[in-house]
Amino acid sequence: MPVGFVLNGAPVAPEIEAEAPLLAALRGPLGLSGPRFGCGTEQCGACAVLLDGAPAFACTLPVSAAAGRQVETVEGLGTPEAPHPLQAAFLDLQAGQCGYCLSGILMAAAALLRRVPQPSDAEIKAALAPHLCRCGSHNRIIRAVRRAADAMAPA
């Protein structure tokens, strides 16, 4: 019996074992590319998704843990036609180089902004501490999160 959950707003029940990692379900039967494998040990954040709004490592989380819950990935954040303010800010500030880490970072930042709409730099850095970027785009990423927060602030 496949495990059912809500992926980016739509109910899904991927054909995969309940004990398989959520990342395998997302990249396998669900056909997504945003969540990425980086380490498999919760050390780099490349796989991060939101589970009921909180960041979770899809590389170790079993599919069963998502049963009946909301899973969000970068694909659900926005589209080129209707980007999330974070995606728009990352593009405006060219906040990335190779981009392999960005899906997970965008999700962690999205969770932060829902919890803390106007975060300090220290809060942004703390929220992104589980995420590794090897290219050295950190400062641009921090500025982009701040810019998105400003863009989302009520006028």
Where do contacts with another protein occur on this chain (CB under 8 A)? 16, 20-21, 24, 27-28, 31-41, 43-44, 46, 73-75, 78-80, 83, 87, 90-91, 94, 96-103, 106, 122, 124-126, 128-129, 131-142
Minimum CB distance to another protein, residue 32 (Å): 7
In angstroms, what is the minimal distance from the CB of 36 to another protein?
A: 6
Strand-pair category, 70-72 with 5-7: parallel
Which residues does 31 contact at the CB level (< 8 Å), separation at least 6?
Answer: none
Rounded Cα distance between 38 and 88, Å, is: 25
Q: Which is nearer to another protein, 65 or 154 (CB)?
A: 65
Residue closer to another protein by CB (options 55, 96) is 96
Distance CA 133, CA 105 (A): 9
Nearer to another protein, 17 or 52 (CB): 17
Whose Cβ is closer to another protein: residue 15's or residue 155's? Answer: 15
CB of 155 to another protein, least distance (A): 25
Residues with Cβ within 8 Å of 126's Cβ and at least 6 positions away in sequence, in order, are none
Strand partners, 5: 12
Which residue, among 47, 34, 41, 139, has the nearest Cα to 94 in the 3D structure?
139
Min dist CB 91 to another protein, Å, is 6
* Minimum CB distance to another protein, residue 52 (Å): 20
Quote the tokens at residue 119: 């975060």
Quick one: 81 or 154, whose CB is closer to another protein? Answer: 81
Token digits of residue 95? 């906040």
